Amino acid sequence: MKTIGIIGGMGPLATVHLYERIVLRTKALRDQDHIRVLIDSNTNIPDRTKAIISDGEDPTVELIKSAKILESSGADFLIMPCNTAHYFINTIQEGVNIPFINMVEETVKYTAEKYGSDTVVGILATDGTIKSKIYENYYARLGIKTVIPGKSQADVMKFIYDVIKKGNYNEGTALMFNAVKELKEMGATSFLLGCTELSSAQYLYKFEGNFINPIEVLTEKSIEFAGGQLN
């Protein structure tokens, strides 16, 4: 089987959850049936949102460094559990000679297959992901309508940075569901967890509904691309 290389550290918890999901979703009877996974949890990568919406430090230097480390260590292809960082995916890809699974693109394809092209996707994500229109542009290519939070976007950012990234899990999900409520009022019928902290929140709090989890999509695509079997 092919070896997976994970560009991680954005954040560390999302990296842990991606690796855990790969292990749990791989059909295996023994250690040797699992896929070899290399992880560079590079916490030196500058904040992606700040780089996109303000004058934050360019993260591509560290992103490419991680990609090259994984390639030279034996990774056959790369994955990256950070939605916002996919804004820079073409630049990273140019720095290596191995394939890169695009989590954003695969998530959008999954949405069309799961909910159909007439669904209205409410996007829950960082300011950087929303401002860059990463997901909106991919969804538009498939004719899928999207909506984004208005006043509740500040709640989404607070939930991502002050609850999940800081490990204040006992604060609960009230902030995020303020945004879900607003998106429903705007016509959303499905909800994209467009930040890996939000994907992690789904695993932590076990909330259910028409949520689209990019980490889960990436997990399945990675196992299949590596030559493993889905459990």
Residues involved in catalysis:
82, 195
Compute the distance between CA of residue 15 and CA of residue 19 in angstroms, rounded to an integer.
6
Compute the distance between CA of residue 68 and CA of residue 97 in angstroms, rounded to an integer.
9
Report the C-alpha dihedral over residues 167, 153, 126, 15, rounded to 10 degrees: 30
**Per DSSP, what are the bridge partners of residue 39?**
6
Q: Which two tokens stand for residue 174?
A: 């009230």
What is residue 187's three-state secondary structure? coil
Compute the distance between CA of residue 172 and CA of residue 128 in angstroms, rounded to an integer.
23
Helix (H) or strand (E) holding 7: strand 4-8
How far CA 94 is from CA of 18, 67, 90, in Å, comes to 24, 10, 6
Q: Which residues touch 206 (CB under 8 Å, ≥6 apart)?
A: none
Helix (H) or strand (E) holding 221: helix 214-226
Compute the distance between CA of residue 81 and CA of residue 91 in angstroms, rounded to an integer.
17
* Residue 116 main-chain phi, psi, to 5 deg: 85, 165
What is residue 106's three-state secondary structure? helix
